[in-house]
Structure 1
Amino acid sequence: MRADGNKGVAIYAAKTVRGQIIAKSLAVCGIPASFDSDPTAAIAKIEKGEAALLVVDVNNHLQAEIDLVRSLAAHLTDCLLMTHTDPRDLATLEALGIDGANCISGPLDPERIYVAVDAFFAIADHAKPIDRQSCGKQWRMSARGRRARQNARNVFRRAMAAPKGGLWRWWRKVTRWSLMLRPMRRLLSAVAILSAGAAAGYLFWCLSTLPDIDRLNHFSPFKASKLYSSDNQLLAELYEQRRTPVPLRDVPQHVRQAFIAVEDARYFQHSGIDPVRIAGALWADIKAGGYHQGGSTITQQLSKMIFLNPEKTITRKIKEMAIALMLERTYSKDRILELYLNQAYFGSQAYGIQAAAEAYFGKDVKQLRVAEGALLAALPKAPNAYSPFRNPERSRQRRDHVLQRMEINGFIPRDTCQRAVREALPRVFHGRQYQSPYFIDYCQKRLEETYGDRLATTGLKVYTTLDARLQAAAEAAISRGMADLKARGVADVQAALVALALDTGQIKAMVGGTDYDRTQFNRATQALRQPGSAFKPLVYMAALKKGFRPDSLIQDLPVAIPVNNGRQTWRPRNYTGRFNGEVTVKEALTRSLNAATVNLALQVGLKDIIETARTAGIQSKLHAVYPTVLGASEVTLIELVTAYGTLATGRQVVPVSVDRIIDKAAAFIWDPGEAPSTILPSASVAAIREMLAAVVTDGTARRAQCLDRPVYGKTGTTNANADALFIGFDDELVVGVWVGRDNREPIGPKETGARTALPIWIDFMQHAPAGGVRMASFQRVAQ
């Protein structure tokens, strides 16, 4: 044992409690040791000769202390002993030039530290400073070194087990009363010492494995992301935990008092643990003959929510109490209460006070009344058992208990309590917002490709391109169209509608079916159906690009085309069954002449037609056969609408569902992209618009003349009336409507695009506001 003043030990530890444990352990064994929370003070003792050895405990914070350790390794490596929790840090310490033999890894072990300190002084006594490292290795490997280390362990254990004066005399006095126990004195003493040591070791282990509460400064619970329409209406919430954190200042005083009254009435008097509450809970449990009342404070409950698992063990309870004390020393009462209210679970997937207010009352937390706040305060103890929707009677009793506690604690007067008791419980659960579900599904899928799990956990604000007014008009138009079909005896029919802004491609409305609850299949974006004659404008655009004009003459005459490797012949016929001989290109499209279109395609070529369709926005497979020019290849409705948008403007229209995204730091994290580029000749665009306008004025879409503005479009009907379509546009919107059956059976006799889909299109366009559709986002991009 070496205890002279020149061989003292200076100690620095990142955690005060660990440094004090090391100092006390060495002092008990006779080695002068002093702990400093300031590394500069500890180093000064080495430099002044007041200590010969510097013990540095970095726990599991090596990276935070790396600059200090690097400096010590450079200047004091011969008198440095490191202790660290994470064994993986050993490689870093050795890389800095610190001898691995002077590094103690793993949980804090005072015995190992003492043995290492004793060995340091033993080596120092037998080696010159310049030879200390090599001599140390030889000494540790020698028999003498092994004996010395074993002796040191024995010294440490005797020191730890040695009885202390008054305590020992008291023990002898207590045991002297019975001669029968005298023969057992050694055994009882050993048992007592072992029990005390085990309890102390257990407590030490519990405290040494506490989590780092500093991470609470960066704690970010799961938050619901919210999707809004372009006119700022909430469309949907996406979450794993429905939570919207709010500052404590937004929570009414009476709501805070409700939680304090029922969960922790002495919240502002204790320091994290309430001995009075614990004693009362224990007495209540004894009287009840079992676990009846908990003694955890709000701070302890927060400790369990954030840092610990919900297991009911002594270890967890000790850690919970220790963390609560640490939280109270680090954070204000208001901050702890705010964290608790935002973290608590209220049942029905509602986490936090704001989500609970929305779920149970459909209102903001700022608007909660006394009775409503009391009900929410009643829930965290057992959300399912006290749910007003599952157990209304138990819920009422628990709420009234909270109100009585508020009155007893002086938070509310008696008359307020009595009025609140008479209030009814909520009857309607306000679940997650999910309007425009087909569009939300479409938008969510694309967002998940970029943000993955972050979409449902990080509280993003997603402003979509959807216009709530246009969406409502679309849903109403579909509903009225289905009612008209039902009045004609046509039932079990589906419909879809897509509306895009011509200048940006932003999706302004989307309906993917008639009943989302019944089927979530989106017929606007997922259903591959034949477009029929609605495909023809793409054929005519290909012809215009090759030099044809609206007044160019083509033949509307019978044509026979070999198919199936020449084994069959395909002879397209017009809807009326008659052929018209020589007609203009404009007339052929206006009257939707099939034979004239196929004859034109023979001159243009399938390759150019398919290439034009691809350029316009058709991504589905187009078969290189001539029936494709009459709409035989299947495409989606949104592809057709996109292609018409390109035909209408000459610019490459790409459907856009998101305008901007704002993260929790209020930063924009979504790039809306570049302005669309021009891909079609302006002369060809003017010509196709002229021809599609003629479809409305003189062709199959004459019904659309009822609108108060110029519109353009084309009907489409497939074989046996299995699909009915109309795709059209004005100067701001391009809109497509599809009607059909999921099993591809005929809709009904004479249910063509003009009779079935066009009225829905007209209904929607009549309710679409003139002007105001163009979004500022496009102007921002264009600038």
Structure 2
Amino acid sequence: MKIVKKIFLYGILLSLIVSLMGVISIISFYYYVKPDLPSLDPLIHAKFSTPLKVFTKNGELIAEFGKKRREPITFDETPKQLINAFLAAEDDKFFTHDGVDYKGLARAVWHLASTGTRKSGGSTITMQLARNFLLTNEKTYTRKFKEIALSYKIEEELDKKKIMELYLNRIFLGNRAYGIGAAAQVYYGKTPSELTIAQVAMIAGLPKAPSTRNPIAAPKSAKARRGYVLGRMKKLGFITEEEYRVASESPITAKIHGQDIEVYAPYIAEMARQEAQEILGDNAFTEGYQIYTTIEPDLQAKARESLRNGLRAYDMRHGFRGVEAKYPQVNSFTAEEIEQKLAELPVIGGLKPAIVIGLDNNKATVLLGDTTAELFLEDSKWARKYISDNKRGKKIKSMSDILEIGDVVRVFTKTESVIDKNGNNLGEKTKYLLSQVPAVSGAFVAISPHDGAVKSLVGGFDFDFNKFNMAYQAKRQGGSCFKPFIYSAALGKGYSTASMINDAPITFKDTSIGKTWRPENYTKKFYGPTSLRTALKYSRNLVSIRLLRQIGIDYAIDFLGDFGFDKSLLPNGLSLSLGSASVSPLEMARAYATIANGGYKIEPYFIEKVTTSSGEVLYQAEPKIAATPKKDDPNPEKFAPHTIPEQNIYLLTGMLKDVIRGGSGAKAYRALKRNDIAGKTGTTNDQKDTWFSGFNGDLAAVAWVGFAIPRSLGRGEAGGKTAIPIWIDFMKYALNGKPEKSMKRPKGLVTVKINPKNGLQTNAGNPNGVYETFREKNVPKMDPEAEPISVYNSDPSAPAKDDKKDDIY
């Protein structure tokens, strides 16, 4: 026994001697290699790789772009339990060791000696910091020694708080999250101080395998790792038995959270991202640049709402295309199974997926998330079966005509005021309506005529559903929205608003489309001699064609360039008069803004400024403004070119106000009841593209509706039915409470009474005469049968008496 005891004692002594020699060797090695160790500056002073952020004009967040998400936090701001969780998971002796865990290293060495294989372990938080941010990822003994040496250096030069702060801000925690601030946001949509103990333990367990064992990629493995961390926290006295029990029983609540987006404008965000990449290069998404756009949050929100409402309204007119999925055995599903089925379907354009769990004649009961709702027959009668764009199935008499138990449908939620029989407002209630994701596309743009700033832009029903930007990228035929520019060109060649053109049949060969063409008016009728004002008011095709032929196609194309259109892309044929040119809604908005501002060719822009993360301005937009500089202005270059004479624009605006007051855009006047709005509907052949473009003195806006792959929208679906409701809904909000803003009457114009049948002057007493405004040099001759005229200087924007006809073309 004495021999055994001596051997045991000698073994212990030998182990102590070896350990002491090991420590001495490590320390000696450290001082030997210390001069060659890398500087800690890259660790301490290196910039965080920070994403690009896109904001509205007033600083509300629109989007964030970058591979790495970071939300830096100081040690003093870090919750104590979050630090404790990392200590429990990674290094409980962190605040007492000198950077190296000798016991852990000894265990790793013993494992290597006894098995011949490496075992991970023995890495302190300091060593992880050295390994992850100052060394390569190679697994060699040399690198391990360097890691130990660097850990000593880190501990020698930095205090424990700083080391922990660097570690917690730089460690990769999966799903693009670097650091605890980003992880708290990404997994839980919270700041670190808002995390529960269960959530703290989950995040602390991520460094071992952040990509493959996080709660999104592998919830079971992540929960097991969380349990380990919680057990360690209890063992070390960081949490009580009760806290351990509650946290251990907590369900996995992690899901991917984006940044807290304050304004939903993904199409403009993507435009800004592309612009940033082109200007700033590869560093655009890592240096924390901040882009401030020209977007106004309230107008953007309204534009999105108006477009979505308009597209859903069109879609409902054409019937129900069917449910998205069927689960007839739904009543045997658990609540978790139903939740999982619905979670597989994203919310699209505000339309939530729901599953039918009950059904009778007058209503269907649906489950969406944790909410049970009822869809009523009276709200669902639109859902006759879709057969084609021109045909629907039989009328709906019962909810069972369209739905079955287990059907997955889309639901639109609507908030309504509850009014009692005495007219008292009793509050609000949420109403649930059967819906579907529209098959049709649309776009909306609103810009400032004063400098071209894009105030709102929506490129489709839902960006995540279809990322193609129909407002910016799509080129679609403009239809009758193009006619005002042809009429302006005619005014530029000496025509007047009273010039008469014969509205009669015409047949010719159009070289631009390569075939013989016999155009018609939308009404299929002919109206004989017609003034330009009347022709534009009612969108008479044949007058527009004859007018273009008279003024000359080459001249018209050149003139249209002054509205900002690319002349090289305009068709060289008479079809140009009916809007065969393909343009984007943004280009159309620019052209109408040129009318709204009095003839100044502004440049649309959507980036106001670009700054560094600290606020240093790198770029500031300097848009040219729609005004004429004074003779002594020192900066004439800041003004937009005045390309269209103001008399021309004033007369054109008067005609477009007529369109609003009694022509194809009369719905707008009836809805807004403003005298400063003007605009034009547009519809192409077979109703493939439908538009409404309009403005007042402060805002120009364009709505477009059509299919992404062009095809007919169906009979009767013209611009006055599809696009104008979108424009009205937006402008009613945008102009609410704003004073009317119209162009002032320029010099050199006179208003006289004319005979509407021939466009000649008539006497003041002619009961059939109408007042019309002319440039002084274009005043028509006196009708031979009339007495001398009297000049009448009233507002020419109130011309011929309006009628109530609502020609939707």
TM (normalized to structure 1)? 0.68
Please give the per-residue CA displacement for 1:462-518, whole angstroms capped at 9, x wherever unaligned. Answer: 222233333332333233223322332247322222222333322232222234344
8 Å Cα contact 1:228/1:462 also seen in 2: yes
**Stretch of structure 1 that moved more, 745-754 or 560-569:** 560-569
**1: CA distance, partners of 2:221 / 2:114:** 23
Q: Which position in structure 2 is the counterpart of 1:639?
A: 587
What residue ranges of structure 1 are gaps of 5+ in the alignment?
Answer: 1-198, 774-783
- Asked whether 1:739 is paired with 2:705, we answer yes
Aligned pairs for 1:36-115 within 5 A: none
- Asked whether 1:665 is paired with 2:631, we answer no
1:655 counterpart SS class? coil
Which amino acid is 1:671 matched to? Q
Aligned pairs for 1:388-407 within 5 A: 388-407=215-234
1:444 counterpart SS class? helix
**2: CA distance, partners of 1:542 / 1:617:** 14
8 Å Cα contact 1:374/1:402 also seen in 2: yes
8 Å Cα contact 1:378/1:386 also seen in 2: no
CA drift at 1:461: 2.2
Q: Which position in structure 2 is the counterpart of 1:349?
A: 176
2:269 counterpart SS class? helix
CA drift at 1:314: 0.9
Which amino acid is 2:621 matched to? P
**Stretch of structure 1 that moved more, 346-355 or 478-487:** 478-487
**2: CA distance, partners of 1:406 / 1:377:** 11
Which amino acid is 1:307 matched to? L
8 Å Cα contact 1:504/1:675 also seen in 2: yes
- Asked whether 1:464 is paired with 2:293, we answer yes
8 Å Cα contact 2:501/2:530 also seen in 1: yes
Using a 3 Å threshold, how does the CA distance of structure 1 residues 205 and 694 change in structure 2: closer, same or farther?
farther
Q: Which position in structure 2 is the counterpart of 1:146?
A: none
Please give the per-residue CA displacement for 1:69-114, whole angstroms capped at 9, x wherever unaligned. Answer: xxxxxxxxxxxxxxxxxxxxxxxxxxxxxxxxxxxxxxxxxxxxxx
**Stretch of structure 1 that moved more, 313-322 or 410-419:** 410-419
Counterpart pick for 1:496 among 426, 432, 443: 443
1:751 counterpart SS class? coil
The count of residues paired between Structure 1 and Structure 2 equals 576
TM (normalized to structure 2)? 0.66
Q: Which position in structure 2 is the counterpart of 1:483?
A: 312
CA drift at 1:356: 0.6
2:138 counterpart SS class? coil
Counterpart pick for 2:280 among 433, 448, 451: 451
Q: Which position in structure 2 is the counterpart of 1:675?
A: 624
8 Å Cα contact 1:244/1:459 also seen in 2: no
Q: Which position in structure 2 is the counterpart of 1:173?
A: none
Aligned pairs for 1:106-145 within 5 A: none
8 Å Cα contact 1:258/1:402 also seen in 2: yes
Using a 3 Å threshold, how does the CA distance of structure 1 residues 486 and 237 change in structure 2: closer, same or farther?
same
Identity level (%): 35
8 Å Cα contact 2:512/2:573 also seen in 1: no
1:237 counterpart SS class? strand
Q: Which position in structure 1 is the counterpart of 2:138?
A: 311
More helix by proportion, 1 or 2?
Answer: 1
More strand by proportion, 1 or 2?
Answer: 2
**Stretch of structure 1 that moved more, 639-648 or 586-595:** 586-595
8 Å Cα contact 2:54/2:272 also seen in 1: no
Which amino acid is 1:683 matched to? Q
Of structures 1 and 2, the one with the larger relative CO (CA 8 A, separation 6+) is: 2
- Asked whether 1:361 is paired with 2:196, we answer no
Counterpart pick for 1:622 among 570, 577, 585: 570
- Asked whether 1:707 is paired with 2:672, we answer yes
- Asked whether 1:656 is paired with 2:656, we answer no
**Stretch of structure 1 that moved more, 252-261 or 623-632:** 252-261
**2: CA distance, partners of 1:486 / 1:315:** 68
Aligned pairs for 1:298-447 within 5 A: 298-431=125-258, 435-447=264-276
Counterpart pick for 1:688 among 652, 666, 670: 652
Q: Which position in structure 1 is the counterpart of 2:102?
A: 275
CA drift at 1:298: 1.3
Which amino acid is 2:613 matched to? K
Which amino acid is 1:670 matched to? Y
**2: CA distance, partners of 1:683 / 1:249:** 68
Please give the per-residue CA displacement for 1:196-228, whole angstroms capped at 9, x wherever unaligned. Answer: xxx999999976764333333441232112222
Q: Which position in structure 1 is the counterpart of 2:123?
A: 296
CA drift at 1:288: 9.7
1:683 counterpart SS class? helix
**2: CA distance, partners of 1:408 / 1:216:** 33
**1: CA distance, partners of 2:705 / 2:152:** 66
**1: CA distance, partners of 2:562 / 2:171:** 54
Using a 3 Å threshold, how does the CA distance of structure 1 residues 567 and 200 change in structure 2: closer, same or farther?
closer
**2: CA distance, partners of 1:501 / 1:389:** 44
**Stretch of structure 1 that moved more, 698-707 or 680-689:** 680-689
CA drift at 1:672: 1.2
8 Å Cα contact 1:206/1:315 also seen in 2: no
8 Å Cα contact 1:385/1:394 also seen in 2: no
Please give the per-residue CA displacement for 1:395-439, whole angstroms capped at 9, x wherever unaligned. Answer: 233223323433444444554444433433214322467843322
CA drift at 1:351: 1.5
CA drift at 1:729: 1.8
Using a 3 Å threshold, how does the CA distance of structure 1 residues 566 and 694 change in structure 2: closer, same or farther?
closer
Using a 3 Å threshold, how does the CA distance of structure 1 residues 209 and 487 change in structure 2: closer, same or farther?
same
Which amino acid is 1:639 matched to? E
CA drift at 1:748: 0.5
- Asked whether 1:722 is paired with 2:688, we answer yes
Which amino acid is 2:579 matched to? G
Rg comparison, structure with higher value: 1
| Aligned-residue RMSD, C-alpha | 3.2
CA drift at 1:667: 0.9
CA drift at 1:596: 1.9
2:43 counterpart SS class? helix
1:640 counterpart SS class? helix
- Asked whether 1:754 is paired with 2:754, we answer no
- Asked whether 1:584 is paired with 2:538, we answer no
Using a 3 Å threshold, how does the CA distance of structure 1 residues 651 and 567 change in structure 2: closer, same or farther?
closer
Q: Which position in structure 1 is the counterpart of 2:88?
A: 261
**2: CA distance, partners of 1:652 / 1:272:** 67
8 Å Cα contact 2:512/2:575 also seen in 1: no
